[in-house]
């Protein structure tokens, strides 16, 4: 039985709902080394099944872009699969598939994450392919490849933003909740104009700066031997040169301007989104805000679901709440879609009253425990396979330099009290906010008309 599954079963058996038992301590053993070129290597051995995951985080996301040059991080997520000097396109996918492995990638505000997962026998292949595209991608990068993937990203943008119901919010909200020039004040996918303006040399410069070994962390987790992994990594990655040192300025503190925005879109039902500026990940109030979001809208029995969706006079088809904590900053959002024929001021009034009541009285003991149980269950599910463990090791290392922060992370949520929930709601959700109404074309009267003073 692997480490993650032992942790999951042990915790579930020893920490039943509403009990005080906290279960066994979570610990994921690892070794950490750094090559002379700056590449950090983390290895976690788990010999339960002959499976291995290779997970590389390049510490670059949309937050590292510049106004007028957005979308590069996401564009590179695609270009990294277009062939390198010794593994021409489409060798990357074909070789891995032939070995029984799979792979994918994702781009966020702060990092771009690549992984391969498959039989342990495929580890040398995985590492060789990753090393080749880290060290020898630019010799094969030409205008046809860039243009092809530029068009793919543009089409993805059309599907996920321009032609998706309520997708326009992704373009307009970041610049409303974050000030001009803030790393999170534009969308991850970038703008059409910026993608069109990117030259091949612009793209290569971005790669040379951010896709260097000293800006990456490589995690290998699964049925492997630490010494063998270290030997393979040294063999394939040592010759890749170190890149330039990267300094990232910390955004200055700011106050959100109370804002009401109306977007007309090809939708049938109006949708309201309320957003407040909060805190970054692992900040003292981060966990309490997550728990507050769960109490508000984390289940069918949560406060906003009962008030808006499942009451006898239901006014919404759905509602969700989320604390979005990132490396540098964070925001809290509540999103609700109105039933046909109803205006968004109706939803806003219910949301405001529900948040105000929870901030005044705090959650009940049962609400608080249910929110914690829900979080803990999701947390443990992420550790059921090697890919989840590898990704989490990388995540913790990037956040605080301590890959095995599993128990410390879980303890943050277990420590949240009803008083903490009340405090963070008063502190953050009774402050200025951005209110976005998305309404059917030609129906501006359905928008929430004004921002009510908190």
Residues 155-211 pLDDT 10s? 999 988 888 999 999 999 999 999 999 999 999 998 899 988 888 998 899 999 999
Q: What percent of the chain has pLDDT over 90?
A: 86
When pLDDT is averaged across residues 15-38 and rounded to a whole number, the result is: 76
State the Cα–Cα distance between residues 403 and 400, nearest whole angstrom: 8
Per-residue pLDDT at 451? 55
Per-residue pLDDT at 67? 86
Give pLDDT tens digits for 233-275: 999 999 999 999 998 888 999 999 999 999 999 999 999 999 9
Per-residue pLDDT at 248? 87
Q: If residue 171 lies in a helix (H) or strand (E), which one and from where to where?
A: helix 169-177
Per-residue pLDDT at 249? 84
- The larger pLDDT score, comparing residue 248 to residue 47, is at 47
Residue with tokens 């502190």: 427
Burial per residue of 79-106, b for 16 or more beta-carbon CB atoms within 10 angstroms, e otherwise: bbbbbbeebeeeebeebbeebebebebe
When pLDDT is averaged across residues 346-363 and rounded to a whole number, the result is: 97
Per-residue pLDDT at 171? 93
**Contact at 8 Å (CB) between 53 and 117?**
yes
Burial per residue of 207-242, b for 16 or more beta-carbon CB atoms within 10 angstroms, e otherwise: beebbbbbbbbbbbbbbbeeeebbebbeebbeebee
**Contact at 8 Å (CB) between 364 and 292?**
no
User: Does residue 106 have a pLDDT over 50?
Assistant: yes
* 440 C-beta neighbours (distance < 10 Å), count: 14
Is 42 strand, coil or helix? strand
Helix locations, 401-451, DSSP H: 406-414, 418-428
Per-residue pLDDT at 197? 87
User: Does residue 39 have a pLDDT over 80?
Assistant: yes
State the Cα–Cα distance between residues 369 and 232, nearest whole angstrom: 46
- The larger pLDDT score, comparing residue 212 to residue 17, is at 212
When pLDDT is averaged across residues 304-313 and rounded to a whole number, the result is: 95
**Contact at 8 Å (CB) between 201 and 186?**
no
Is 35 strand, coil or helix? coil
User: Does residue 424 have a pLDDT over 50?
Assistant: yes
Instruction: Map out the domains of the chain with their CATH numbers.
Output: 28-237 (3.30.830.10), 259-446 (3.30.830.10)
When pLDDT is averaged across residues 365-375 and rounded to a whole number, the result is: 97
- The larger pLDDT score, comparing residue 412 to residue 451, is at 412
CA-closest candidate to residue 83, choices 99, 94, 72? 94
| Global pTM value | 0.92
Could you tell me the strand order of the sheet in which 51-58 lies? Answer: 31-34, 40-45, 216-222, 51-58, 112-119, 102-107
* 198 C-beta neighbours (distance < 10 Å), count: 19
When pLDDT is averaged across residues 355-362 and rounded to a whole number, the result is: 98
Per-residue pLDDT at 23? 65
When pLDDT is averaged across residues 321-349 and rounded to a whole number, the result is: 97
Give pLDDT tens digits for 124-153: 999 999 999 999 999 999 999 999 999 999
Q: In the predicted model, what is the mean pLDDT of the chain? A: 93
CA-closest candidate to residue 286, choices 332, 325, 313? 325
Could you tell me the strand order of the sheet in which 316-325 lies? Answer: 259-265, 434-440, 271-277, 330-338, 316-325
When pLDDT is averaged across residues 65-75 and rounded to a whole number, the result is: 89
Confidence of residue 22 (pLDDT cuts 50, 70, 90): low
State the Cα–Cα distance between residues 191 and 128, nearest whole angstrom: 34
SS (H, E, C) 260-296: EEEEEECCCCCEEEEEEECCCCCCCCHHHHHHHHHHH
User: Does residue 48 have a pLDDT over 90?
Assistant: yes
């Amino acid at each position: 039985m692997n480490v993650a599954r032992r942790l999951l079963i042990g915790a579930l058996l020893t920490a039943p709902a509403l009990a005080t038992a906290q279960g066994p301590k979570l610990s994921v053993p690892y070794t950490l080394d750094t090559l002379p070129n700056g590449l950090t290597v983390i290895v976690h051995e788990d010999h339960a099944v002959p499976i291995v995951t290779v997970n590389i985080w390049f510490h670059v996301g949309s937050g590292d872009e510049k106004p007028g040059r957005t979308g590069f991080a996401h564009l590179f997520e695609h270009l990294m699969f277009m062939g390198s000097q010794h593994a021409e396109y489409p060798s990357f996918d074909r070789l891995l598939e032939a070995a029984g492995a799979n792979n994918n990638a994702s781009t966020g505000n702060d990092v771009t994450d690549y992984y391969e997962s498959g039989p342990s026998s495929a580890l040398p292949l995985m590492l060789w392919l990753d090393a080749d595209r880290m060290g020898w991608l630019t010799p094969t990068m030409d205008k046809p490849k860039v243009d092809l993937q530029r068009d793919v990203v543009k089409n993805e943008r059309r599907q996920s933003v321009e032609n998706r119901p309520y997708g326009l919010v992704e373009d307009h909200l970041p610049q409303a909740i974050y000030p001009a020039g803030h790393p999170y004040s534009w969308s991850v996918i970038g703008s059409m104009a910026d993608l069109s303006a990117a030259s091949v040399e612009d793209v290569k410069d971005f790669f040379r700066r951010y896709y260097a070994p000293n800006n990456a962390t490589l995690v290998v987790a699964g049925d492997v031997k630490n010494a063998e992994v270290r030997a393979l990594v040294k063999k394939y990655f040592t010759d890749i040169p170190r890149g330039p040192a990267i300094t990232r300025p910390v955004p200055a503190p700011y106050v959100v301007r109370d804002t009401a925005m109306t977007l007309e879109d090809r939708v049938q039902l109006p949708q309201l989104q309320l957003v407040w500026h909060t805190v970054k990940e692992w900040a003292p109030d981060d966990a309490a805000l997550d728990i507050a979001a769960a109490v508000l809208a984390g289940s069918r029995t949560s406060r906003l679901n009962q008030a808006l969706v499942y009451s006898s006079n239901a006014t919404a088809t759905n509602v969700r709440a989320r604390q979005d904590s990132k490396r540098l900053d964070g925001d809290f959002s509540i999103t609700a879609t109105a039933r046909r024929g109803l205006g968004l001021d109706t939803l806003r009034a219910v949301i405001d009253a529900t948040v105000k009541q929870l901030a005044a009285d705090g959650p009940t003991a049962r609400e608080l425990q249910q929110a914690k149980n829900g979080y803990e269950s999701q947390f443990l599910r992420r550790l059921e396979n090697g890919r989840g463990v590898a990704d989490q090791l990388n995540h913790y290392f990037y956040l605080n330099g301590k890959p095995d922060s599993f128990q410390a992370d879980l303890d943050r949520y277990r420590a949240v009290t009803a008083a903490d929930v009340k405090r963070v709601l008063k502190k953050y959700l009774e402050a200025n906010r951005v209110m976005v109404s998305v309404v059917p074309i030609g129906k501006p009267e359905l928008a929430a008309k004004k921002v009510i003073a908190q």
